Structure 1
């Protein structure tokens, strides 16, 4: 289990840096887009597509990272009033549901989308990037959700959530 935690810690560190870099690129890209549209006589043609692709990647990878940090919104009013044993069961069921979603929608569905766009040879309009590369973030984020939910399932908290834990 220590090796698994070490791997997750390494992934977390890489993901944190990658998300920060992509956010910085997004800010620079959108700033350049506004500058070229309103100040310079010639608007930039590629900035909208870059912003869209960065936003897709940031959203999906950021969602996985937020899940890892347990920063997603949650409805814990019911769980808070359960016993420790029942709260742990509910937590593990939630982990299973996340894993099922990650496998079926993000990994399998994402791999199908990547395969279809690769087979059809779809490319983006302006940058001429293969859309399979853009969509590859779906199975990647699904794999992250699956890893994190597996870790949470086997390391479920054995105490109930207290009021002071939430505040």
Structure 2
């Protein structure tokens, strides 16, 4: 059962990544094609004004889910790192609870606007804007599930110590490299004077 659940979760995130890549491809092809048409043929495709914008909305919302799953969102961890283990657990639990509340409001806000969104059609494609903004249902529900699972794991004592810092170490090494380069440049400028 556990292996089946892990496979389903991996498949879900793989599907999200595929949709994100498709959104990038749509944006690239439609914007580039429209620029070329305008530049060389003094014409354009009306649909290519709308579809890249819609693809960008989907890319952003789905990227938020994948980013939360991979712990790849930006964060400031200076205070949390200074806390003892219990303090880190409390802060991590609070952040998960706050994100859960935000996810609730994403879904609830979309639900309040559901009738309006469904009734509106995009100007060019004439599709219901639910197909565009309905992605917030997916995002809110997925973020809520991630946060609930994290809170359950925290209460069961299954969260490892390195997870309590919600900053991805890969991204931090790049930031630290940039900081070292800036410090070296500043030191070289000071020595040259």
TM-score category (smaller protein): 0.7 to 0.9
Could you tell me how far 1:4 is from its partner in structure 2? 4.7
Scaled by the length of structure 1, what TM-score is found?
A: 0.87
1:11-54 Cα shifts (integer Å, max 9, x gaps): 11111111111111111111112111112221211101001111
Larger radius of gyration: 2
Aligned to 2:144: 146
**Structure 2 portions without partners, runs of 5+:** 174-193
1:159 to 158, 161, 167: 161
* Greater helix share, structure number: 2
* Counterpart Cα distance in 2 of 1:4 and 1:103: 24
State how 1:6-155 maps to structure 2 within 5 Å.
6-104=7-105, 106-118=106-118, 121-155=119-153
Which contiguous aligned blocks of 4+ residues in structure 1 show a shift greater than 3 angstroms? 3-7, 155-158
For the residue of structure 1 that corresponds to 2:137, the secondary structure is helix
Say if 1:4 and 1:97 are closer, same or farther in 2 by CA, change over 3 A: farther
* Counterpart Cα distance in 2 of 1:78 and 1:89: 13
Scaled by the length of structure 2, what TM-score is found?
A: 0.76
Could you tell me how far 1:66 is from its partner in structure 2? 0.8
Could you tell me how far 1:69 is from its partner in structure 2? 0.8
* Counterpart Cα distance in 2 of 1:23 and 1:57: 10
**Structure 1 portions without partners, runs of 5+:** none
1:119-157 Cα shifts (integer Å, max 9, x gaps): xx2101011011122111111111111112122223343
Could you tell me how far 1:107 is from its partner in structure 2? 0.6
Moved more, 153-162 or 44-53: 153-162
Say if 1:84 and 1:76 are closer, same or farther in 2 by CA, change over 3 A: same
Aligned residues: CA RMSD: 2.0
